[in-house]
Amino acid sequence: MGGDIKNRSGTGCPDPAAPAEESLAQFRFYEELNDFLPADRRKTAFIHTFTRRASIKDMIESFGVPHTEVELIIVNGRSVDFSHIVTDQDHISVYPVFESIDIRPLLRLRPAPLRCPTFVLDTQLGRLARYLRLLGFDSLYRNDYHDDEIARISSEQHRILLTRDRRLLQRSIITHGYFVRATDPLQQVDEVLKRLDLYNDIEPLSRCIRCNGILTEVDKDAVIERLEPKTKRYFNQFRICRDCDQIYWKGSHFSKMIALIDGFRNQRDHDGLHETHPMG
């Protein structure tokens, strides 16, 4: 990194007329945080020049990395939080969320694990929301959400924000969030399950795909007036959504839904695309 930088006047006193002194800091981003960086800064240490006083959170996000993707920051050998002010000659290492490494002796950047499996999704991720509900995850979604509303819900309800908008993740009130890299909904599910290690939390067919409400068993007699003639004749087990009253039974689409669920579960140990068809 070199020695200390002297002021431009060459004297021991700062020159008020001179431009602000340049300071240098060395950054290194690890693992998937490199997805947000230009190619020449990925998986390597690089020097950043700055003249203004800035927190490490602001500086990290100036590189395009949302703070919600960061779990650990090491500056000159010690862990710091987002309020740390970057100074000249700092050596900074930035790490993503750890799923299998215990870093409790170090300083975490948020009070609770990022993996709490309740979500709010932005307006670009409607299909992902349906799939997560199919797997039993509490997933709030509306196609008319405004960014302010999504951010407020994530903050107040302590929900993980899933989004394709990295600027949304840079809002300071959001502490739990994940930038979804994939564009295909099926691959998005695989990505979220793996990244947040959610396989053990899957409870399929326990939530309403339409509204996210909880499904409960209901007697056939209680809903019989709402059933089509063939459904009355051939089916006897039903569930109903507590919130929207949608009725579910093991109809013609049930086998496809089970195949889809199994497909998601089977991705735990290997990569690849699903060969099952999405829900109709």
- In order, the DSSP letters of 187-234 are HHHHHHHHHTT-GGG--TT-B-TTT-PBEEEE-HHHHGGGS-HHHHHH
| Cα angle 259, 264, 267; round to 5 | 125
Per residue in 49-70, pLDDT (tens digit) is 999 999 999 999 999 999 999 9
Backbone angles phi, psi at 149, to 5 degrees: -70, -45
Rounded to the nearest 10°, the torsion over CA 206, 212, 218, 223 is -140
128 and 185 Cβ atoms separated by less than 8 Å: yes
Residues of the chain with CATH 3.10.20.30: 1-109
Question: How far is it between the farthest Cα atoms of the chain?
Answer: 94
Per residue in 194-248, pLDDT (tens digit) is 988 899 899 999 999 999 999 999 999 999 999 999 999 999 999 999 999 999 9
Residue type, 90: D
CATH architecture of 1-109: Roll (3.10)
- H or E segment to which residue 93 belongs: strand 90-96
Cα separation, 98 vs 104, whole angstroms:
11
pLDDT score for 116? 52
Kindly state the DSSP code that residue 99 receives in the 8-state scheme: S
pTM above 0.85, yes or no: no
Per residue in 18-35, pLDDT (tens digit) is 456 899 999 999 999 999
